[in-house]
Structure 1
């Protein structure tokens, strides 16, 4: 069978074993190669894929591969890669050829052993999705991250990042929809500025050491659906003003220092007509990185409740967690309605 004119090869979500055959690298017209979620193994130099000069998407995530990041490719003609899926590939550094990929829009490098983000990453002006969760990232988040004006999803969760969250992250881009920094060692105050017209839908700052007040400027995030600041050191009164956000469905404020009475606005709330939509980032008519924004855990005094991949349409608030704070007074009737 002659496959020299093959444009797309999708073998993801199977039980394929063994090494990646070298014959794949002779398919010069290939624009999409997806091998994610198999049992492929062996050590492989990523530079081998650069021979595929038409390649726009490469998916190698969640196999048993050990990928070598390759050599300097500054003088090499690179394929027009727009999407790279390299999760769980035993990477210890970001492949250096990425700096030369002017069209790169999606980069998934979660669940590796990455220690730092190279400075050239902040020059990837077309980058829309950056996944680096579950690595060994240390140090501060560079404020140069706000040069990435095209970002839609940023996920640095479950690393060892420290220092303050760059103040620009709340307002540097109208395109940003998901900001996930949970499970780090971030301190200081939550960014206080959120621009009018913000498209943020998910904010997860949980399990850090953030302090101060919950930013009132969050009322500018009219698309916000998921807010998790639990397990921090936030010291504030009950944020009744969150009820002005028409799309809000999950509010997790537990294990902080919220205090005072639970107050509710006197006018009828928008909560009864909240709507939910599942959001995806699409590539070549395929949901390459399918983001379910409603997976979360509520834990309090040894009781753990997991809510995973909630997919049905929701028209009302899903969860409110106010546990382990210093709230007092009566429980408002609106919570029962």
Structure 2
């Protein structure tokens, strides 16, 4: 049986593959650590069988710059238990923001058509860089993102439909260097805790409905 004798690969990079579907041979790959299918023309749903590919070994997954629309019978929590790096940006993915596994460090799903609220991500203790920009997500910014653990360095949610106040309580123990909340519908005043946040290197709150002035 060819299935039982198929080589078990560790890294697969097929950029510019120029195929409209996921390579079927991936179905029988159980030891992958890196899978890069970015910059292709893969269209439609991410097939359900992909949720069973290298579930216990995959560390790096890049599906960016395709024409993916959604997840076929996936749960809203990704199945890859050790995944650290995930790029889904620049597709046409709709629906709610999927929650990555607890192991995630880098999570980019910008430039899609996601809707709904940002889910609670407070238990992602290793999350360092996150980019949800240029989607259609609404609701408020989860309060826990303002007093996240010390791992989070970059928080980008620009160009969505987020509303309500900017969270207060930006904890002094944070390590956030970049905060981009621009081009939303955030209201009320800039929290004092954010204005006193000393280690920021980049902050953008522009093009919101905030009625306040940043101190000079």
- TM interval, shorter chain, is 0.7 to 0.9
Aligned equivalent of 2:65: 88
The C-alpha deviation readout for 1:105-151, integer Å capped at 9, x for no partner, is: 111101112112366x25x1111111110100111112x22222221
Structure 1 residue 100 corresponds to structure 2 residue 79: yes
Which has more radius of gyration? 1
Q: 1:146 to 1:179 in 2, by over 3 A?
A: same
Q: 1:50 to 1:200 in 2, by over 3 A?
A: farther
Aligned equivalent of 2:201: 225
Once residues 97 and 50 of structure 2 are traced to their aligned partners in structure 1, the CA distance between those partners, rounded to angstroms, is 16
Structure 1 residue 206 corresponds to structure 2 residue 182: yes
If the length of structure 1 is used for normalisation, what is the TM-score? Answer: 0.56
Aligned equivalent of 1:116: 95
Structure 1 residue 170 corresponds to structure 2 residue 149: no
1:55 to 29, 32, 37: 32
1:35 to 8, 14, 18: 14
| Structure 2: gaps spanning 5 or more residues | none
Aligned equivalent of 2:161: 185
Once residues 129 and 137 of structure 2 are traced to their aligned partners in structure 1, the CA distance between those partners, rounded to angstroms, is 18
Once residues 65 and 75 of structure 1 are traced to their aligned partners in structure 2, the CA distance between those partners, rounded to angstroms, is 19
Q: Secondary structure at the match of 2:176?
A: coil
| Structure 1: gaps spanning 5 or more residues | 1-24, 241-337
Once residues 106 and 169 of structure 1 are traced to their aligned partners in structure 2, the CA distance between those partners, rounded to angstroms, is 19
Once residues 52 and 159 of structure 2 are traced to their aligned partners in structure 1, the CA distance between those partners, rounded to angstroms, is 39
The C-alpha deviation readout for 1:9-33, integer Å capped at 9, x for no partner, is: xxxxxxxxxxxxxxxx9442x2222
The C-alpha deviation readout for 1:37-83, integer Å capped at 9, x for no partner, is: x2x22232366324222210111111222365223578886451011
If the length of structure 2 is used for normalisation, what is the TM-score? Answer: 0.85
Once residues 207 and 154 of structure 2 are traced to their aligned partners in structure 1, the CA distance between those partners, rounded to angstroms, is 19
Q: Which runs of 4+ in 1 moved over 4 A?
A: 72-77
Q: Is contact 1:56–1:79 with CA below 8 Å preserved after alignment?
A: no
Q: 1:57 to 1:75 in 2, by over 3 A?
A: closer
Q: Is contact 2:29–2:54 with CA below 8 Å preserved after alignment?
A: no
Offset at residue 196 of structure 1 (A) = 1.6
Q: Secondary structure at the match of 2:69?
A: coil
Q: Secondary structure at the match of 2:138?
A: strand
Calculate the aligned-residue CA RMSD, in Å.
Answer: 2.6
Offset at residue 167 of structure 1 (A) = 1.2
Structure 1 residue 139 corresponds to structure 2 residue 121: no
